[in-house]
């Protein structure tokens, strides 16, 4: 599935990862209590590790709830399912 991926810093210092299927306006988000957990999800999506690290460093310079976007990426449906990022809206689209 082609998707847009966003991250943002939560009020508690965790990281939220959001996945929005290309062409849709909303998607699935999960909060992680550590940067390392969020990073492992982004790596599993197949994103470039240097870009992941750059965006995670950028989180320290932005206020909570400020979205940082990754380039659109093709993510295998089974990867999305295994990480619980599969939504009914994705199946119908």
| Average pLDDT over all residues of the chain | 90
The answer to whether 28 touches 86, Cβ cutoff 8 Å, is yes
Q: Comparing 60 with 70, which gets the higher pLDDT?
A: 70
pLDDT of residue 52: 97
The answer to whether 1 and 64 are in contact (CB under 8 A) is: no
- Structural domain harbouring 16: 2-92
This prediction's pTM: 0.89
Confidence of residue 91 (pLDDT cuts 50, 70, 90): low
Q: Residue 12: what pLDDT? A: 85
Residue 25: what pLDDT?
81
Mean pLDDT of 33-62: 95
**Structure confidence by residue, pLDDT tens digits, 14-42:** 999 999 988 888 889 999 999 999 999 99
pLDDT band at 70 (very low <50, low <70, confident <90, very high): very high
Residues 6+ apart with CB under 8 A from 74: 1, 2, 3, 46
**In the chain, how many domains are there?**
1
């Amino acid at each position: 599935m082609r998707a847009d991926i966003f991250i943002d810093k939560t009020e508690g210092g965790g990281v939220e990862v959001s996945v929005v299927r290309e062409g849709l306006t909303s998607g699935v988000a999960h909060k992680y209590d550590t940067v390392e957990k969020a990073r492992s999800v982004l790596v599993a999506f197949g994103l470039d590790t240097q870009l992941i690290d750059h965006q995670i460093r950028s989180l320290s310079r932005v206020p909570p709830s400020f979205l940082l976007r990754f380039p659109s990426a093709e993510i295998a449906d089974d990867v999305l399912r295994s990480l619980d990022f599969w939504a009914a809206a994705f199946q119908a689209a």
